[in-house]
Amino acid sequence: MVVVDEENGEMHPLDLFLSVGLDKRTAENVLVNPKVTSNLTAVIKEACVVDGCGKTVGNLLYTVATKFPANALKHRPTLLEYIVSLKIKSPAQLDAAFAFLMNVGPETYQLKDFEEACGVGVEVSLEEVKAAINAVLEENMDALLEQRYRINVGNLCGQVRKKQPWADAKTVKEIIDARVAEILGERTADDDIKPLKKKKEKPVKVEDQPSHTSAPVTPPEEELNPFSIFPQPEENSKVHTEIFFSNGEIWRAHNKREMLEKHLKITGGKVITRFPPEPNGYLHIGHAKVLEIAVLNMNIMLYFCEIAFVSYLMILLQAMFINFGLAKERNGSCYLRFDDTNPEAEKKEYIDHIQEIVQWMGWQPFKVTYSSDYFQELYDLAVLLIQGGLAYVDHQTPEEIKEYREKKLNSPWRDRPISESLKLFDDMRRGLIEEGKATLRMKQDMQSENKNMYDLIAYRIKFTPHPHAGDKWCIYPSYDYTHCIVDSLENITHSLCTLEFEIRRPSYYWLLMALDIYQPYVWEYSRLNISNTVMSKRKLNRLVTEKWVDGWDDPRLMTLAGLRRRGVSSTSINSFIRGIGITRSDNSMIRYDRLEYHIREELNKSAPRAMVVLNPLKIVITNLDSESRMSLDAKMWPDAPSEDASSFYKVPFTNVVYIERTDFRLKDSKDYYGFAPGKTVLLRYACPIKCTEVIYGNDSESIVEIRAEYDPLKKTKPKGVLHWVAQPYPGVEPLKVEVRIFDKLFLSENPAELENWLSDLNPTSKEVISEAYAVPSLVNAVEGDRFQFERLGYFAVDPDSTTEKLVFNRTVTLRDSYSKGGNK
């Protein structure tokens, strides 16, 4: 039974696909993929076979729907004519057609060249097929006799195709099978025995390997090139997208050859990108309100409490890396463009802050521009749009526009005379129409399946002076109108944005095609999702406003303010983003460990070493004079050269030292390298000590002190090595510091999927140790300084630090689960 959609009278897609000869399984698989469903439906309609066709034609149409080269879509109707008329009737001919059209792209070509390339009209006789097969079998006779029926027949067919590309594949296979049986005779039982796989030889031990050979080394993530997926500017002649209209018309967006050549002449063939944040919103001190700021087309909700500051999320740092990084990798240029089309929200404070962040992240803009720089050009192009019948002045209220869009109805003013719209638009510009009483809308397609084609607003009236353009204008362009045009005016080669804006691609190219101006290459990438945290603006708002975390700069959040406070550098952020690459897969969850790996790699090279004891246990060295004080050299770097004094710092050594309480236990074992009664350990940079006595408190259980003897001659060579801090002078307590230990904010990898996601908060994500002991050299540390506390992790000085007490945040542990096979 054929199902017909009563609303539009069209056949159900499954029945449509079955009618062209596809088997049911293939047809059902097509329906799973919306893009293939749309393509195949369009191909069937374009080929005029909605009433059905033979299986041969249907299978070729399916191949066209799935493999047709995107840069040659304007030539698809011609190819379909050849298929339906059976001038192209084999997969080999179709593959040849694809190769020819891919090379031609959107340019014109001679039909005779196309037919010659595709073998149209060429008939291969049976004698020619047999001759080609005999030649191939003769060339492969030794292998055939050795391998017998285990020989790769597909490879033989491929060799025949090279000699006779237009021969029928089924006929070739049948004749090869018959000739092989004729040469080898009857198939035996031995022919069905699978050959034994050769055992892999054991790898040669490292010491036995010749010195001149080495195994291939996989380069580190940060050395891989994530930008290799992007085409060169001179390749920007392919069809970017197909714009389907409700009346059946199709626009295929691509640059004409002369337009592309003009663009390349202006740019010198260089890559040009842009990072376009919107500098809007700034609240007064003492307020806590919500504002939305669109940065790289993304609404990021920000809170400003007590003081105002911007908290960039990791996804925006990703956008910054992709745009600036691509330009840098290709020796091109990247604009920092402020999308300042809303005069009521733009503030210089934001502009200054964004520029500071871009610089902190290590990027240098080619030029700082503003959308408002192009207000005159944008206005002039809007006039051209009206003159071409592709824009009109509308008087609907926002509520009416919403209602008409939901019902897919045209505005009552959509078909007003062009001259009338031109006069009204001029009245808008001159301030003769009240704010809210008129807008300029693009005449796109109100009946489209894509809501972003519902006659988007191009201009609205706002009697507000512009911070950058002054009081010249009282009409301002919308983002949807401005963004793509300024991309074109600035000769942007690659316009990059996140996947949620893929639905806007038709409206982006509609406007550029309507104005007949250069079209940048648009590419959408997946947003960065990191495990054990939330990236949603609403969830982040709740965490901050309900005080589950300590503000937007809480080191546990994936905000720039939080990451900076935690001690994460721009180098490690860029390295992390580079390592994960650029993909269109929208379901990827990047493990938090992977970010930590890149932070750890950078800090391992840049952070000097120091010793801090978090939970001190007192040790009194009984064979060292209580008034004695030694000054020892400790390495700031693992490979510090002994002759370089600047690579060492001084640590005092007295008869009272402190070790971690967790480094001592009463019962020793073979696999334990810590301190225990009667056991000897090495104090790093000092000497071995041996536990001689344990002193208990009044409860006879808690340990308050350890007595030990030291070996000044270092005769013993213990396996265990402990970090420690000593009294700087006899009777003087070590430097006290506060240490904050941060862990993953959520227990689950993807808390956003949980209904009660707040219940998944990690109760131990923050631990404050108020009185840790530190070596004296840390007393001069200032905010932002970063260190490796030996055996504990990497730490950074927090802004809460005072002259009386330093505060350190743990940036990352020393443990690395990502590079040890936990990567994902």
Q: Convert the pLDDT of each residue in 685-707 to its tens digit.
A: 999 999 999 999 888 788 999 99
Average pLDDT over residues 61-65: 91
Other beta carbons less than 10 A from residue 37's beta carbon:
18
Tokens of 58: 């249907």
Q: Is the dihedral of CA 161, 164, 169, 170 positive or negative?
A: negative
Model pLDDT, residue 219: 55
Q: Does residue 364 contact residue 399 with C-beta atoms inside 8 Å?
A: no
Identify residue 767 by its one-letter amino acid code. Answer: E
Written in H, E and C, the secondary structure of 670-688 is CCCCCECCCCEEEECCCCE
How does pLDDT run across 68-127, given as a tens digit for each residue? 887 788 889 999 999 999 999 888 899 889 888 887 877 888 898 899 899 998 888 899
Tokens of 388: 């071409």
Model pLDDT, residue 232: 93
Nearest to 98 by CA among 70, 120, 121: 70
How does pLDDT run across 230-284, given as a tens digit for each residue? 999 998 988 888 888 988 888 888 898 899 999 999 999 999 999 988 664 322 2
C-alpha to C-alpha distance for 773 and 196, rounded to whole angstroms: 66
Judging by DSSP bridges, how do beta strands 648-653 and 367-370 pair with one another? Answer: unpaired
Q: 218 falls in which pLDDT band (50, 70, 90)?
A: low
Model pLDDT, residue 223: 61
Q: Does residue 317 contact residue 558 with C-beta atoms inside 8 Å?
A: no
Model pLDDT, residue 766: 96
Model pLDDT, residue 196: 58
Specify the higher pLDDT residue, 188 or 493. 493
| Mean pLDDT, rounded, of the chain | 86
Portion of the chain with pLDDT greater than 90, in percent: 54
Nearest to 769 by CA among 790, 738, 725, 807: 738
C-alpha to C-alpha distance for 528 and 586, rounded to whole angstroms: 9
How does pLDDT run across 156-186, given as a tens digit for each residue? 888 988 888 888 888 888 899 888 888 888 8
C-alpha to C-alpha distance for 624 and 630, rounded to whole angstroms: 11
Q: 145 falls in which pLDDT band (50, 70, 90)?
A: confident
Q: 667 falls in which pLDDT band (50, 70, 90)?
A: very high
Average pLDDT over residues 746-757: 91
Q: Does residue 343 contact residue 476 with C-beta atoms inside 8 Å?
A: yes
pLDDT of 789 strictly over 50:
yes
CB within 8 A of 35, min separation 6: which ones?
Answer: none
Model pLDDT, residue 672: 92
Catalytic residues: 278, 527, 537
C-alpha to C-alpha distance for 344 and 172, rounded to whole angstroms: 73
Question: Among the ranges 71-85, 369-383, 488-502, 550-564, which has the highest mean pLDDT value?
Answer: 369-383
Model pLDDT, residue 293: 28
pLDDT of 217 strictly over 80:
no
pLDDT of 204 strictly over 60:
no
C-alpha to C-alpha distance for 520 and 236, rounded to whole angstroms: 8
Judging by DSSP bridges, how do beta strands 630-635 and 648-653 pair with one another? Answer: antiparallel
Q: 141 falls in which pLDDT band (50, 70, 90)?
A: confident
C-alpha distances out from residue 645 to 203, 635, 637, 650, Å: 44, 10, 12, 10
Average pLDDT over residues 786-799: 96
pLDDT of 207 strictly over 60:
no
Identify residue 389 by its one-letter amino acid code. Answer: G
How does pLDDT run across 321-371, given as a tens digit for each residue? 999 999 999 999 999 999 899 888 777 777 887 888 889 899 999 999 999
C-alpha distances out from residue 83 to 21, 65, 201, 500, 640, Å: 14, 13, 53, 37, 73
Model pLDDT, residue 189: 76
Q: 43 falls in which pLDDT band (50, 70, 90)?
A: very high
pLDDT of 538 strictly over 90:
no
Average pLDDT over residues 196-219: 48
Portion of the chain with pLDDT greater than 70, in percent: 89
C-alpha to C-alpha distance for 101 and 82, rounded to whole angstroms: 14
Query: CA-based angle 259:265:269, to the nearest 5?
Result: 100
C-alpha distances out from residue 754 to 305, 314, 528, 759, Å: 29, 22, 19, 9
Q: 478 falls in which pLDDT band (50, 70, 90)?
A: very high
Q: 586 falls in which pLDDT band (50, 70, 90)?
A: low
Average pLDDT over residues 9-18: 83
Q: Is the dihedral of CA 634, 636, 640, 645 positive or negative?
A: negative
Q: Where are the alpha helices (DSSP H) in 372-517?
A: 375-387, 398-406, 418-429, 479-489, 505-515
* H or E element at residue 358: helix 348-360
Nearest to 330 by CA among 496, 484, 105: 496
**Which of these ranges, 181-195, 223-237, 308-322, 602-616, has the smallest mean pLDDT?**
308-322
Question: Among the ranges 149-158, 259-268, 580-589, which has the highest mean pLDDT value?
Answer: 259-268
**Which of these ranges, 214-218, 479-483, 540-544, 730-734, has the smallest mean pLDDT?**
214-218
Model pLDDT, residue 677: 95
How does pLDDT run across 759-772, given as a tens digit for each residue? 999 999 999 999 99
Model pLDDT, residue 639: 84
Model pLDDT, residue 23: 86
Looking at residue 664, what DSSP letter applies? Answer: B
Nearest to 84 by CA among 156, 20, 142: 20
Q: Does residue 510 contact residue 503 with C-beta atoms inside 8 Å?
A: no
Query: CA-based angle 80:82:83, to the nearest 5?
Result: 65
Model pLDDT, residue 500: 83
